Amino acid sequence: MIIIMLGAPGTGKGTVGSLLAQKLNIPHISSGEIFRSYIERDDEIGKQAKAYVSEGKLVPDEVTIKILEKRLNEPDTQNGCILDGYPRTEGQAESLDRLLKEQNRKVKVAVNLSLSDDEIVDRIIKRRTCQNPDCREIYNLDFKKPNVENICDKCGSQLMVREDDKEETIRKRLENYHNISENLIDFYKNKDILYTVKLNNESNKVSSDIAKEIEEYLKK
């Protein structure tokens, strides 16, 4: 079962994807984690990725698909996985389909977490992140407050506002997302495998509720 997580920055697709992976007992694979993993291994593909990442450039599609192919051939993906952060473009989605076809697999569903830009900005500027690099737990001042103000519940480290959690940066990231990734929604809609979850900041729904909703949808 291959599941794609779609959604703009701040929709919570990483958290929902991780929770859903636990429920389905399949790995949650984020593009950033894949790159870091192979860069740390320092093999040939890792060195190619590092050359781009170290200069702040996007890793080209041909390198990304090679890394993804290696990851999808690892034993823990035998029963499927959740892909978060890939594909980012229609071209990448087509490359992924070709790769999965070679492996006699296909995407079962693309989950789109939909939230308005203004609500995303409101949500992200209230986000706080644990500054401990080994923890990085994320909180929100509205719906996931730490037990002690500005202190991480898990490790006791200070919480911080990341540079990319400031409004000007968020607006730019959203603009880039709409320019680059929105065609993916139509791509998967046309394949009749898109499932959209409409979110809003007034709802009492938390990430675990959304993960449960998607799990129930998959059973149908």
Instruction: Give the catalytic positions in this structure.
Output: 13, 88, 127, 162, 173
Tokens 């090679």 correspond to: 66
| 172, two tokens | 């730019």
Report yes or no: 188 and 6 within 8 Å, Cβ to Cβ.
yes
Burial class (CB in 10 A: 0-12, 13-18, 19+), 204: exposed
Tokens 């499932």 correspond to: 195
> CA 35 from chain center: how many Å?
14
| 186, two tokens | 């139509």
> Could you give the strand order of the β-sheet that contains 107-114, starting from the edge strand earlier in sequence?
28-30, 81-84, 2-7, 107-114, 194-198
| 85, two tokens | 């952060």
Angle between helices 31-41 and 61-72 (to 10 degrees): 80
